[in-house]
Amino acid sequence: MKRFLVSIACMAGVALLIGCGTTMNAEKAAEQAVMVRNMLSERHYRIGVNFMYPFRGSSRSLTSDYFIEVRNDSLISHLPYFGEAYDLPYGGGQGLNFSERIGSYADYQKKKDEFVIEIGVKNSEDIFIYTINVFDNGRSSIDVRSRKRDPISFSGEMEF
């Protein structure tokens, strides 16, 4: 009987610890969701990109050097490009590496924990549409379309 009571007490202690850990995780997730929403509403955020998915060919893991950043009315894009391109300047041009003023910006909440941002930007070589899906936990996907290149997608996380 004594062993039975001790084992019940131990299980109750473990359940209490697990419950506290779950509460801490829920609080942290809620705090992170608030940070993501604030950064999006202020239009000041940076997404570090760690994976790319070309239209043609296989996906690739990337180093931590690639990102996009929105600063109010500007988009800074430092992304690699793999795919077929049409009508480009000699040498391939600047690709997805530029800093330009945003031509159009639209955002909406797709689901309870997902936001979609569409950014239109034009540089000296092409017109680009960046569609960014951002989740409350900061995970993001980026689809890039242009007139002179195959589409390409990326995934990464918001940097806090």
Name the residue type at position 73.
D
Residue 4 counted as domain residue: no
More confident residue, 14 or 59: 59
pLDDT at 83 over 80: yes
Give residue-wise pLDDT tens across range 107-117. 999 988 899 99
Task: Kindly report the number of other CB atoms within 10 A of residue 19's CB atom.
Answer: 10
What is the CATH number for 125? 2.40.128.410
Does residue 84 sit within a domain? yes
Rounded to two decimals, what is the model's pTM? 0.81
Domain interval for residue 54: 39-158
- Determine, yes or no, domain membership for 6: no
- Flag whether 152 is in a domain: yes
Evaluate whether residue 28 is within a structural domain.
no
Q: Which amino acid is at 159?
A: E
Q: How many domains would you assign to the chain?
A: 1
pLDDT mean across residues, the chain: 86
Q: 17-26, 60-69, 79-88: which has the minimum mean pLDDT?
A: 17-26
Within a domain: residue 2?
no
Q: Would you give the DSSP letter of residue 126?
A: -
Q: Indicate whether 14 belongs to any domain.
A: no
pLDDT in tens, 119-157: 999 998 899 999 999 999 999 999 999 998 999 999 999
- Asked if 138 contacts 132 with a C-beta cutoff of 8 angstroms, the reply is no
